């Protein structure tokens, strides 16, 4: 069986209180005792039982991470960033793929509560805000990552979607495109909304006209991207450039363009958003707005930790600047046709 604090105490000829103090650097334990105790712990291969100490109101050193789907590269990369940051401070993270279903969210949260996690990172959409309020009522720290929630006061870290959209528009405008369309995720996804708002602003800045019927709405799936792009590209005066709200949609668009015999980037420029591994792997490599994923993970974790220590600091909202990664799916507009 595993050694307990009692075993160590007995072996060292001291009381468990002294062992506990030695471990936690509390009280006053003489150097001699400390060293002796540590030596014995090593010998016995003693590891304090986190759950037991959690019972006394200490931390469990366990976090929950809610995301739509760990098998989606964007979220997998987020998860890795968080995991690395957490691991440094001895935290473990429990993964919870919600499929964006509130019912799954609730189940997962209930489970996490039972396990007394120290905090929860939420990177999934939350239709039902009651979930958050009840979490806050129970004073379990929450930070949102890569997603926002309008109503509640929650710590949040996101990329600046608006600026990302702006960057994409500037890039396309700079290449001389004037007939541009957008492939968007559901309107209710706030980040998509912001990206498009920024994109439109960018177009406007460049005095490029834009009409909302140039937006196709899709779900977060490659085949949806194909469908949406098909709709847009099938029109009479088809666009020379496409802004897609994420890489997955952009890939769908690339596939559809190929199917239609439209060359990317010669006849159609495509820009994505996220800069996941997928963007680097497709052909041509995708020009895309890169979210600072690693940094987001780091900030989110830090925010959560800060919350554990200082009772309740004022809620922060950290907005990180995205960056345009120019690859080969965009090129100058062939000829600026007079409409």
Partner DNA sequence: GTGAAAGCGCTAACAA
Partner DNA sequence: TTGTTAGCGCTTTCAC
308 binds its own copies (CB under 8 A): no
Q: Which position among 4, 36, 100, 116 is part of the footprint of its own copies (CB under 8 A)?
A: 116
The strand pairing partners of 181, in sequence order, are: 242
Using the minimum distance from each CB to its own copies, give the nearer residue, 59 or 197.
59
Using the minimum distance from each CB to DNA, give the nearer residue, 15 or 133.
15
Separation in Å, CA 13 to CA 2, 21, 27, 143, 152: 19, 15, 18, 45, 54
Q: Which position among 94, 217, 306, 320 is part of the footprint of its own copies (CB under 8 A)?
A: 94
- Per the structure block, which two tokens stand in for 319? 């907005």
Using the minimum distance from each CB to its own copies, give the nearer residue, 54 or 152.
54
How buried is residue 104: exposed, middle or buried, by Cβ count under 10 Å (0-12/13-18/19+)?
Answer: middle
4 binds DNA (CB under 7 A): yes
Q: How far is the CB of 3 from DNA (least distance, A)?
A: 8
The strand pairing partners of 145, in sequence order, are: 157
Using the minimum distance from each CB to DNA, give the nearer residue, 35 or 283.
35
What is the separation of C-alpha 251 from the centre of its chain, rounded to a whole number of angstroms?
A: 20
How far is the first Cα of the chain from the last one, in angstroms, to the nearest whole number?
81
- Of 56, 86, 161, 78, the closest CA to residue 124 belongs to 78
Number of residues in contact with DNA, rule: CB under 7 A?
30
Q: Which position among 35, 39, 43, 52 is part of the footprint of DNA (CB under 7 A)?
A: 52
Question: Taking CB within 5 to 8 Å according to partner kind, which of DNA, its own copies, none is near residue 111?
Answer: its own copies
Question: Scanning residues 17 to 36, which ones bind DNA (CB under 7 A)?
Answer: 17-18, 20-21, 23-24, 26-30, 32-33
Please compute Rg for the chain using Cα positions: 26
Q: Could you count the other beta carbons within 10 Å of the beta carbon of residue 85?
A: 20
117 binds DNA (CB under 7 A): no
Question: Taking CB within 5 to 8 Å according to partner kind, which of its own copies, DNA, none is near residue 138?
Answer: its own copies
- Of 17, 60, 59, the closest CA to residue 37 belongs to 17
Q: Which position among 73, 176, 230, 332 is part of the footprint of its own copies (CB under 8 A)?
A: 73
- Of 177, 289, 219, 266, the closest CA to residue 72 belongs to 219
Q: Which position among 10, 16, 197, 294 is part of the footprint of DNA (CB under 7 A)?
A: 16
Question: Taking CB within 5 to 8 Å according to partner kind, which of its own copies, DNA, none is near residue 326?
Answer: none
Question: Taking CB within 5 to 8 Å according to partner kind, which of DNA, its own copies, none is near residue 136?
Answer: none
- Per the structure block, which two tokens stand in for 280? 């680097």
Q: Which position among 17, 89, 110, 129 is part of the footprint of its own copies (CB under 8 A)?
A: 110
DSSP letter string over 107-156? Answer: HHHHHHHHTT-SEEEE-S--S-THHHHHHHHTT--EEEES---SSS--EE
Q: Which position among 55, 110, 221, 281 is part of the footprint of DNA (CB under 7 A)?
A: 55
Q: How far apart are CA 309 and CA 196, in angstroms?
A: 38
Q: How far is the CB of 307 from DNA (least distance, A)?
A: 19
Using the minimum distance from each CB to its own copies, give the nearer residue, 55 or 336.
55
Q: Which position among 36, 60, 136, 219 is part of the footprint of its own copies (CB under 8 A)?
A: 60
**Cα angle for residues 334, 195, 314 (degrees, 5° grid):** 155
Question: Scanning residues 204 to 223, which ones bind its own copies (CB under 8 A)?
Answer: 222
């Amino acid at each position: 069986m595993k050694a307990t604090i009692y075993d160590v105490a007995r072996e060292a000829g001291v009381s468990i209180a002294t062992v506990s103090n030695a471990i936690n650097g509390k009280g006053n334990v003489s150097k001699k005792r400390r060293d002796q105790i540590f030596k014995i712990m090593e010998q016995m291969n003693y590891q304090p039982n986190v759950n037991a100490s959690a019972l006394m109101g200490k931390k469990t050193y366990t976090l929950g991470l809610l995301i739509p789907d760990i098998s989606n590269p964007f979220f997998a990369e987020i998860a890795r960033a968080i995991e690395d940051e957490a691991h440094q401070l001895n935290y473990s993270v429990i993964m919870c793929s919600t499929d964006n279903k509130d019912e799954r969210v609730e189940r997962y949260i209930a489970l996490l509560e039972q396990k007394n996690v120290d905090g929860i990172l939420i990177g999934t959409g939350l239709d039902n805000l009651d979930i958050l309020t009840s979490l806050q009522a129970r004073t379990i720290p929450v930070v949102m990552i890569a997603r926002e929630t309008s109503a509640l006061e929650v710590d949040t870290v996101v990329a600046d979607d608006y600026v990302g959209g702006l960057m994409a528009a500037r890039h396309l405008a700079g290449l001389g495109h004037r007939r541009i369309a957008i492939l968007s995720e559901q309107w209710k996804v706030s980040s998509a909304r912001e990206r498009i708002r920024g994109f439109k602003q960018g177009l406007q800045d460049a005095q490029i006209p834009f009409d909302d019927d140039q937006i196709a709405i899709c779900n977060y799936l490659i085949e949806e991207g194909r469908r949406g792009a098909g709709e847009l590209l099938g029109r009479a005066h088809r666009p020379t450039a496409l802004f897609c709200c994420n890489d997955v949609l952009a890939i769908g668009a690339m596939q559809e363009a190929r199917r239609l015999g439209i060359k990317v980037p010669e006849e159609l420029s495509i820009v994505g958003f996220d800069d996941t591994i997928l963007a680097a792997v497709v052909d041509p490599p995708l020009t895309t707005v890169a979210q600072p994923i690693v940094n987001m993970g780091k900030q989110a974790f830090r925010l959560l930790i800060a919350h554990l220590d200082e009772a309740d600091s004022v809620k922060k909202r950290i907005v990180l600047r995205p960056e345009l990664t120019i690859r080969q799916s965009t090129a100058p507009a062939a000829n600026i046709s007079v409409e």
